[in-house]
Structure 1
Amino acid sequence: MASLFSHPLTRSIPNLFTRFRLRPSRTMSSSSAQRLFQLKLDPLTGNSEWVVIDEEDQVSENPSEPLLSTTSYLDMLNDSRRNRAFREAIDKTVTKNCRVLDIGAGTGLLSMMAARAMGSGDSVACPRTEGMVTACESYLPMVKLMRKVLHLNGLGRKINVINKRSDELNIGVDITSRADVLVSEILDSELLGEGLIPTLQHAHDMLLVENAKTVPYRATTYGQLVESKFLWKLHDLYNNEAKALDNVFLVPAGQETILSIKQQQYAMHCDAIKEEIKLLSEPFKIFEFDFSKRPDSHEETELHIKATDNGSVHAVVSWWILQLDCEGTIFYSTAPKWISVPFNINKSQTPFSSAGDWCDHWKQCVWFIPGKGICVSKHEEVHLHAIHTDISISYNLKTQLSRTEIGQHDLFARDSQLILSPERVAIYGDSEWRLSMLTAVKNTLQGKVISLCVVADDSIFLAILIAHLSRTSHVISLFPGLRDKGTQYLQAVADVNGFSMDRVEVLQNWKTCLTTLDTHQKKVDLLIGEPFYYGNEGMLPWQNLRFWKERTMLNSALSEDVVIMPCKGILRACAMSIPDLWNSRRCLNKIEGLDHSVVNATLGACGDLPEAQEGPCLPYFVWQCGEIKELSEILTVMEFDFSKPINPCSGKAMVEFTETGICHGFVLWIDWVMDAENCTVLTTGPVHRYWKQGVKLLSKPISVGFHGSESTSGCFSTEIEASFDPSSGELIVKHTLS
């Protein structure tokens, strides 16, 4: 999306390439082609470097390492409900001789719809003598791909493609005159996060005629008060930690927000937790945004909501509804499936369905109510104060009885505050996880004198736990992501956890290796990690093998009988039926009559990849991926031995199917074996909802069964193999039918 504020890859699945939010790429001209500078992250070191990518390779029929294959473009373009709604609205709005501007053109789908509508419409709405569609897209690889799509559909000469952000366009230079119609899709799950408001403001000020038409025409956000223990655990560490009884206090009394989540809306597939949600209000309207007018950057509203049941409000679940045409006949909703009747829409006049096929590019949003939430009684009035800025929406709640706003409890230096993801907060508040860690560490310390312990990762829990349990040991925390924040946090919680900072330090100057000069002439007796690296939450599970890399760099400082925890990692896999996820990434043919088959190889589409090209492994919360079914036992594919320095390794496993069905791919994760006796194994598989798994989708789904079942056709077994390359941190996964 070549908007003023954002870029389409802000909606991408996290991968090894990170891009600046405002200026995601830099290009330079050469005699032969343009090249792209990308900031590439090494997941095993956390280091990044600028690399030059040959643009021509990225849009070839068989790109060697396609940058776009791990984005959400496929998911978005496979959303037939979205595509149909935009096509119908564009057909109604765009007529002959219009000047149309498409901001954030992507593959050019909306631009092509507009050009096609212009050729078949009349000239009533737009009195100009010549029509033109201008497609604005800032990301060069997508521009090159778009040109291929336009050429395939014979529309290359009818659409003017400009490789710029919308705020870089100049009337009289890039565009001959202001546009009569704006078509765009720069919406995220929250609605505003991709810069909708600043983009519309600039467009109305500089790029559009007065009273311009827009597709979409309007968006309205809605919300609902809910009770959910699962959602509560994702943010209230203080009250959940109290149940652990292990005398480790990550959030001491009086410092309830010293470790917290960021106050923002979190995108989530709320249908996946439908059975765990208790609705405490009717849906209510929050904000309305008219795209045909210049929007305000700031707005506030006070809503009075009656509780429909007794309970505790743990969160506000929100979604939005698009009205794509000015007459109000074409709509699109991101509402959860429990919402059956749209609001402010005449259902008798307008065919409407809020529930469509599963898609990942738009979800519902969750706003967590701090602490234990707010207790309400049936018919009690709750006051919701909603605020939107130019990029976000936030809420405050209070009841009529208390008139007390639900907010932060404690006052302390913000320098000490740590912001973690909701899933990490839930893990740290999970009594079972904490007990496993405590047991493993206690068993390791029993009968041993640990003079020096190094916490290799960003685990504040382990740093505190070791300092609390081993009064004689010196603890060095590397905290590669937390750094000074980690030091300030430990200083703030040291007293209540019974240790002094003269026994705990955070290494400030991280090097490629650690020597005894850094460890006060001591050898490391215990090297430990969860493993957890700050900022890695959205990455693939094996990217936490950074622990193995760190262990290797510390090799010269390790004692001969050093204890390493975890002592190994095990790559697990399970064959699964995941139809919704597979369909969201299936190959594209014609979208509303416009051929997109040329993009499949570049976008890594399932079902249409060249023989030599493998689809990517992608990180997902599998439990949120719609319909899922396990088709095999959990398999061990390979092991990573942390007692030795990092090295290339590989493994394979025979998959015997235990259920009949359609196999769409394999779900992979790592189990961390904490001790040599295999007594404590911490799994990150789908059974636990706080970790993402890696998903390797098949090019084509296969029908499977098991020996002895009624099925006489299909595949009964297959082989999966994996190889790990420590130089890049990549795990290559393949399967072979047997």
Structure 2
Amino acid sequence: MSSGSNERMFQFKYDPVTGMSEWVVVEGDDNHDNVVQPSSTIDLGTTSYLDMLNDNWRNKAYRLAIDKTVTRPCCVLDIGAGTGLLSMMAARAMGIADCTLASGDKRRVIACESYLPMVKLMRKLVHRNGMERKVTVINKRSDELKVGVDINSRAHILVSEILDSELLGEGLIPTLQNAHDELLVENPKTVPYRAITYGLLVESRFLWRQHDLHNNEVCLLDGIRLVPTELNPVLNVKAQQYPMHCDSLEEELKTLSEPFKIFEFDFWKRPDSHGEAQICIKSTSTGRVNAVLSWWVLQLDQEGTIFYSTAPKWIKHLQADFSGDGEWCDHWKQCVWFVPGKGLSVSKDEDIHLHAIHSEISISYNLWAENQGTKIHSNHSNEFQLTLSPEKIAVYSDDYWRHQVVLAVHNALRRKDSPLCFVVDDSIFLAPAIAHLCKSSRVMLLFPGLRERGFRYLHSIADTNQFSVDRLKLLDTQIDCLTIHDTDGKKIDLLVGEPYYYGFDNYLPWKNLRFWKERTRLERILSKDVSIIPGRGRLRVCAMSLPDLWKSRCSLADIEGFDHSVANNILGACGNLPSREESPMLPFFVWQCGGTKELSERLTLMEFDFTKPMSSCSGKAKVRFTKNGTCHGFVLWIDWVLDVENGVVVSSGPDNRYWKQGVKLLKTPVTVTNHDQHYSDEHHSVEMEAIFDSTSSNLILQYDFV
């Protein structure tokens, strides 16, 4: 990287619709009045920085703890400094004079941040708040810092916020180990002071469906087995903790224990890389343990008066001292660890033994009941095993979804003799479904994300599903280069996709329109009467009240006395923006977004016709409000019309909790009323237009309240 006033960096850019990726140069400068380049804006706008900075309880807790801990001039080290908020808090608490410090002065705040776009933003914020003489910004990883080179002396105080929902996933342990070994004085002060993880045993059919496909599909009648009994667990989720908002699951969970303490991590001393805990838990009810729900509590000060908890609201009353103010936030969730298979059957008052293990970056569990000798532990992988997201496992467990897909494929195949079928996406369900329904079919697979792993998996389940692997072919040629020679001299009779692309879990719904792009690239080798599944896509919209989500994505102003307004553009702020700025559309599981309420009818805003080559298109709709309330934004999703003629549809809307929806938040919330009521000063409807640009794959949403 070059030095001087103009900095250049490379950033990895990926277009999920085209499937193409490249390294691009991002230009930047240190002019504190300029905003950071748009490519960095898009990158940082999908992170949790904005939500974290809008977490008032977190900000207040850190400020109170830093004010109590930094009581005299000394050397303070902030690791993973982000926007520099904690560094500026420490400098203010220390009361460093405004004059320029001598190079050897030990009264300094060192802000260490490795991510260059964040460093550039931090420098702007430090300058905006008049702290550039008090805070030294270093663009390095903390384990790259050298005492006597980067910093003058070991630090007396460590302030940090390198925590994820699991606590350890951002490298807390190795970071603390290196800091204590190389960067901190003996017996340093730290903010936070310690962290404690807690757990709860729960029964939940919703959570069970997200990992145990084998036992869920046994009851299904379509005859397709993605997880044959003899190969269980050939298809599974990773044995890890999954971040999830559990407030919305309160009515669907049956608690089978009281909360219990698991691990304690002290920031003020060097942690161990590996730790184990044996915990005996008394079951509070008869049931089946499907998951271990966990959260953590931060003790920020040494005296134990300032706490922050990530427990769900319905748990916090059991930990009253740690409750905080109960505000919803998205950057820290609870975690779910799935108990393999059907779970552990327990009786009331039975002793359950939990063996918890932590590595440097994660926590895992084994458990067993007092009267059951076999431990329930994570399944070991085999050479054919595929790991998918919990949401995808749940989709493949869903009887309705499978029925709709099988029905659409059946309707298409009944008109074809010895068809050549082409699976254009990463669906592992479609190939066995086609082979099961049509014994004379040949199936060619693109598998752009799964590739050989997916193909080996299909080989492993072929015998159980009674089809020959000779009927399958994995295409190695890039799709733009495919010719009729690659399809063995035959044109494609059936082109299918779910659509599903491996690794697309965090993208906006319309990024799955990559299916349309792929179909267009194959135009030259499609037969004249080719069937396309899905045949159409409908972009759907609903106006909603989303107070918690809107607040978490609101533009920044004063945060504990520090102006953060310069960060709004790069962090993708949505609410309270200047009139000239537009908020981004972001992917969320709407059901996990705190308080929500639908305020309008659900309408189709635009249609995509997959039977024709990809093209730009647009659509308009007048959305009428059906309820009174405050509108914070619009939720958008795609209904996939698998069979146009017979109306076979699957939806990725808010009712389906296994897909993320696209959310467009308003700059300013709008009070709306039912369109049947007549109040001249209230809004009854909104006129909307959506424009899809096939060249850039971007979706633009325009709206006007009337």
Q: TM-score, normalised by structure 2?
A: 0.96
1:175-213 per-residue CA deviation (whole Å, 9 max, x = no partner) reads 000000000000000000000000000000110000111
Give the aligned partner of residue 352 of structure 2: 382
Q: C-alpha separation between the residues in 1 aligned to 2:636 and 2:574?
A: 18
Contact 2:96 2:107 in 1 (8 A): no
- With 189-198 and 674-683 compared, the bigger mean Cα shift is at 674-683
Give the aligned partner of residue 308 of structure 1: 284
Aligned-residue offset at 1:612: 3.7
Aligned-residue offset at 1:385: 0.5
- With 646-655 and 155-164 compared, the bigger mean Cα shift is at 646-655
Q: C-alpha separation between the residues in 2 aligned to 1:275 and 1:428?
A: 24
Give the aligned partner of residue 3 of structure 1: none
Determine helix, strand or coil for the equivalent of 1:605. Answer: coil
User: Judging changes above 3 Å, is the alpha-carbon distance between structure 1 residues 31 and 383 closer, same or farther for their aligned structure 2 residues?
Assistant: closer
Aligned-residue offset at 1:732: 1.7
Aligned-residue offset at 1:597: 1.7
Matched, 1:508 2:476: yes
Aligned-residue offset at 1:440: 1.1
1:502-548 per-residue CA deviation (whole Å, 9 max, x = no partner) reads 11111133342421011000010000010000111111100100100
Q: C-alpha separation between the residues in 2 aligned to 1:215 and 1:710?
A: 55
Matched, 1:725 2:693: yes
Aligned-residue offset at 1:667: 0.3
Give the aligned partner of residue 493 of structure 1: 461
Give the aligned partner of residue 489 of structure 2: 521
Query: Which amino acid in 2 is paired with 1:365?
Result: C
Matched, 1:250 2:221: no
Superposed, which structure 2 residues align to 1:352-363 within 5 Å? 352-354=322-324, 356-363=326-333
Q: C-alpha separation between the residues in 2 aligned to 1:200 and 1:352?
A: 24
Contact 2:574 2:582 in 1 (8 A): no
Q: C-alpha separation between the residues in 2 aligned to 1:190 and 1:283?
A: 16
Determine helix, strand or coil for the equivalent of 1:521. Answer: coil
Q: C-alpha separation between the residues in 1 aligned to 2:4 and 2:566?
A: 26
Query: Which amino acid in 2 is paired with 1:404?
Result: T
Percent of aligned pairs with the same amino acid: 62
Contact 2:192 2:301 in 1 (8 A): yes
User: Judging changes above 3 Å, is the alpha-carbon distance between structure 1 residues 718 and 432 closer, same or farther for their aligned structure 2 residues?
Assistant: same
Give the aligned partner of residue 372 of structure 2: 402
Q: C-alpha separation between the residues in 1 aligned to 2:540 and 2:675?
A: 23
Give the aligned partner of residue 365 of structure 1: 335
Q: C-alpha separation between the residues in 1 aligned to 2:272 and 2:3?
A: 43
1:575-611 per-residue CA deviation (whole Å, 9 max, x = no partner) reads 1010000000111111112221221222222334344
Give the aligned partner of residue 53 of structure 1: 26
Contact 1:58 1:141 in 2 (8 A): no
Determine helix, strand or coil for the equivalent of 2:200. Answer: strand
Query: Which amino acid in 1 is paired with 2:392?
Result: R
Aligned-residue offset at 1:31: 6.3
The counterpart of 2:648, out of the listed 667, 673, 680, is: 680
The counterpart of 1:545, out of the listed 485, 508, 513, is: 513
1:379-427 per-residue CA deviation (whole Å, 9 max, x = no partner) reads 1011100000000000001111112011367x8x722100000000000
Matched, 1:40 2:13: yes
The counterpart of 2:681, out of the listed 709, 713, 729, is: 713
1:78-133 per-residue CA deviation (whole Å, 9 max, x = no partner) reads 00110111001000000222100000111111001101110189xxxxxx975110
Give the aligned partner of residue 478 of structure 1: 446
1:292-325 per-residue CA deviation (whole Å, 9 max, x = no partner) reads 0000000111111110000000000000000001
Contact 1:587 1:605 in 2 (8 A): yes
- With 351-360 and 427-436 compared, the bigger mean Cα shift is at 351-360
Contact 1:339 1:354 in 2 (8 A): no
1:58-88 per-residue CA deviation (whole Å, 9 max, x = no partner) reads 9834854523222211100000110111001
Contact 1:601 1:608 in 2 (8 A): no
Contact 1:184 1:216 in 2 (8 A): yes
The alignment of Structure 1 onto Structure 2 pairs a total of residues equal to: 697
Q: C-alpha separation between the residues in 2 aligned to 1:45 and 1:150?
A: 39
Contact 1:654 1:719 in 2 (8 A): yes
Query: Which amino acid in 1 is paired with 2:282?
Result: K
Q: C-alpha separation between the residues in 2 aligned to 1:493 and 1:59?
A: 60
Give the aligned partner of residue 101 of structure 2: none
Give the aligned partner of residue 393 of structure 1: 363
Moved over 6 A (4+): none
CA RMSD of aligned residues (A): 1.8
The counterpart of 2:302, out of the listed 326, 331, 355, is: 326
Matched, 1:699 2:667: yes
The counterpart of 1:632, out of the listed 562, 586, 600, is: 600
1:642-663 per-residue CA deviation (whole Å, 9 max, x = no partner) reads 1111111122211211111111
Contact 2:479 2:518 in 1 (8 A): no
Q: C-alpha separation between the residues in 1 aligned to 2:306 and 2:5?
A: 46
Contact 1:637 1:651 in 2 (8 A): yes
- With 54-63 and 213-222 compared, the bigger mean Cα shift is at 54-63
Give the aligned partner of residue 705 of structure 2: 737
Aligned-residue offset at 1:688: 0.7
User: Which structure 2 segments of 5+ residues have no match?
Assistant: 98-103
User: Judging changes above 3 Å, is the alpha-carbon distance between structure 1 residues 88 and 206 closer, same or farther for their aligned structure 2 residues?
Assistant: same
Matched, 1:97 2:77: no
Q: C-alpha separation between the residues in 2 aligned to 1:408 and 1:384?
A: 13
Q: C-alpha separation between the residues in 1 aligned to 2:86 and 2:475?
A: 52
Q: TM-score, normalised by structure 1?
A: 0.92
- With 724-733 and 656-665 compared, the bigger mean Cα shift is at 724-733
Contact 2:553 2:575 in 1 (8 A): no
Matched, 1:88 2:64: yes
Matched, 1:284 2:260: yes
Superposed, which structure 2 residues align to 1:163-178 within 5 Å? 163-178=139-154
Q: C-alpha separation between the residues in 1 aligned to 2:65 and 2:578?
A: 36
User: Judging changes above 3 Å, is the alpha-carbon distance between structure 1 residues 130 and 53 closer, same or farther for their aligned structure 2 residues?
Assistant: closer
Contact 1:86 1:110 in 2 (8 A): yes
Give the aligned partner of residue 202 of structure 2: 226
Q: C-alpha separation between the residues in 2 aligned to 1:236 and 1:130?
A: 57
User: Judging changes above 3 Å, is the alpha-carbon distance between structure 1 residues 43 and 173 closer, same or farther for their aligned structure 2 residues?
Assistant: same
